Structure 1
Amino acid sequence: MIKTALVTGAASGLGYELTLLLAKDAYKLILVDIDSAKLADVQIEVETQFNVEVITLIKDLSLPNISQDIINDIGDASIDVLINNAGFGLFGTFAETNWERESAMLNVHVMTTTHLTKLVLEGMVKRGSGKILNMASLAAFQPGPLMSIYYASKSYMLSFSEAIANELKGTGVTVTALCPGPTKTAFQETVSEDANDNKITFNMACAKEVALYGYKAMLKGKSYAIPGRFNKVLAVIPRFITRNAATSIVRKLQAKNRAE
């Protein structure tokens, strides 16, 4: 029986790499992204290379109740794998950043991801099987001055994912939060209106390797996954120093990245 996977933010970066992994495993794909041109290219590539069915949905995931629109569009399709990958960042002090952009980020990272998870989860629990991969971040483990909303939203995603993963034990459904560090994707181009701001080069990971790590963790049903040994160390450091110290360190790193 052919299984179906739904991927948001599938047109580039980690979403694209995860899409290829799913296609390789012969999933029928429902790909969601706001970039119609890139998504069309991905559809052609995947259908040609892997001979799997691909459905594309052009959606702005920052809009209210867009998750319900997605479910309405796919009709009776049973979702066996849900990958909530869509997201973006914004650099700057909270007092000066653009609220419309921040509001859109919160809708994408928090509201849409949470709602889509809830809508898909009902069918998974009834069938007694399903896998969900939510895109958190290494940023989820501490506050992040100069990217406060991004860090906070990723902390929410990690906490939410771990909590429902625990609730779902014994149901046949698993939830995994993928927590990558800096990864070479288009994310770095969308963080700031100034293309020179916050270009992180230190500890930069390959998107293909991060996606594979997260994909394997999802298949194993792990509640969270942190790719890279150094990132694992960075994730636990805030437990051993004061919160003020952790926050100050992040502030210095963010400011240094902007200066470079």
Structure 2
Amino acid sequence: MNKTALVTGGASGLGYELALLLAKDAHNLVLIDIDAEKLQEAKQLIESVYSVTVQISVKDLSQVNISEEIIEELNGLEIDVLINNAGFGLFGTFWETDWKREEQMLHLHVMTTTHLTKLILKGMVKRGSGKILNLSSLAAFQPGPLMSLYYATKGYILSFSEAIACELKGTGVTVTALCPGPTKTSFQQVVSNNTSENKITFNMASSKEVAAYGYKSMNKGKVYAIPGRFNKLLATLPRIMPRNTAALIVKRIQEKNRED
């Protein structure tokens, strides 16, 4: 029997590329996304190429208690692989940015990721097998002025993933935090109305490259994965320089991107 993987944000970008890799390895899929049209397109494309079934569910994952709704709809279906991929960013000074949008981001990155992981993890541990991939970011390794909550939530995802990965040793279940740098996805289009990360072309990887690296790392059971040698170097900088200096460097980079 095929194993089943659940992918949030699975309609496009990294989520879709990860779904393709899972389907290639004969995983049936449950794809969850807010974009109904792209979800349907993803389902048709994947099922036309691979002999797997694809269930789709249109959900706003930033809503409170959405994880319980997802589990109820699964109706007892066992999830062998969980990929918490959905996310978005918001640019601007904290006192000026929109709280409602920030609240949605906090619920999505922190509450939904945590709750869905908890609800699915119990079954994995009971069965003695399972893999979880949580989408963090290179942003997790330093503070991020002008994207303060995005950086902070990605730091949470990394810390959370590392902690439960340690707890799960010997259970047959692994947790991996994928920490990519700038990546060509739809994420850049929704950072803000005034600026977007698609202006950043230096050191930008494709979603296919990042997905392949993350998928391989997950299958190896790595605790965290940083695609690219330059990104690995950047992740170490906050450890060898004062944190306020790291924050200032990030701020200057963000300001430059806003001007370009």
The TM-score, its normalising length taken from structure 2, stands at 0.98
CA distance in 1 between partners of 2:13 and 2:198 (Å): 18
CA distance in 2 between partners of 1:139 and 1:167 (Å): 24
Give the 5 Å matches for 1:146-165.
146-165=146-165
CA distance in 2 between partners of 1:144 and 1:200 (Å): 16
Shift of 1:127: 0.1
Q: Is the 8 A contact 1:180 1:210 kept in 2?
A: yes
Q: Which residue of 1 aligns with 2:98?
A: 98
Aligned length: 260
Q: Which residue of 2 aligns with 1:237?
A: 237
Give the 5 Å matches for 1:136-215.
136-194=136-194, 199-215=199-215
Q: Which residue of 1 aligns with 2:67?
A: 67
Label 1:34 to 1:12 Cα distance change in 2 as closer, same or farther (>3 A): same
> Is 232-241 or 190-199 further displaced after alignment?
190-199
Label 1:106 to 1:196 Cα distance change in 2 as closer, same or farther (>3 A): closer
CA distance in 2 between partners of 1:242 and 1:12 (Å): 38
2:50 corresponds to 1:35 = no
One-letter code aligned to 2:78: S
One-letter code aligned to 1:175: V
Shift of 1:193: 1.6
List runs of 5+ in structure 2 lacking aligned partners: none
Corresponding residue SS for 1:180:
coil
Q: Which residue of 1 aligns with 2:86?
A: 86
Could you report, residue by residue, the CA deviation over 1:159-182 in whole angstroms, capped at 9, with x for unpaired residues? 000000000000000000000000
Identical-pair percentage: 69
Q: CA RMSD in A?
A: 0.9
Q: Is the 8 A contact 1:192 1:198 kept in 2?
A: no
Label 1:148 to 1:195 Cα distance change in 2 as closer, same or farther (>3 A): closer
Q: Is the 8 A contact 1:30 1:56 kept in 2?
A: yes
CA distance in 2 between partners of 1:149 and 1:199 (Å): 21
One-letter code aligned to 2:49: Q
2:41 corresponds to 1:52 = no
One-letter code aligned to 1:248: L
CA distance in 2 between partners of 1:195 and 1:181 (Å): 18
Q: Is the 8 A contact 1:91 1:198 kept in 2?
A: no
Label 1:158 to 1:205 Cα distance change in 2 as closer, same or farther (>3 A): same
Label 1:169 to 1:197 Cα distance change in 2 as closer, same or farther (>3 A): closer
CA distance in 2 between partners of 1:20 and 1:2 (Å): 15
> Is 43-52 or 199-208 further displaced after alignment?
199-208
One-letter code aligned to 2:214: G
The TM-score, its normalising length taken from structure 1, stands at 0.98
Shift of 1:198: 7.0
One-letter code aligned to 1:131: K
Shift of 1:51: 2.2
Q: Is the 8 A contact 1:7 1:84 kept in 2?
A: yes
Corresponding residue SS for 2:46:
helix
Q: Which residue of 1 aligns with 2:111?
A: 111
Q: Is the 8 A contact 1:5 1:27 kept in 2?
A: yes
One-letter code aligned to 1:98: D
List runs of 5+ in structure 1 lacking aligned partners: none
Label 1:186 to 1:197 Cα distance change in 2 as closer, same or farther (>3 A): closer
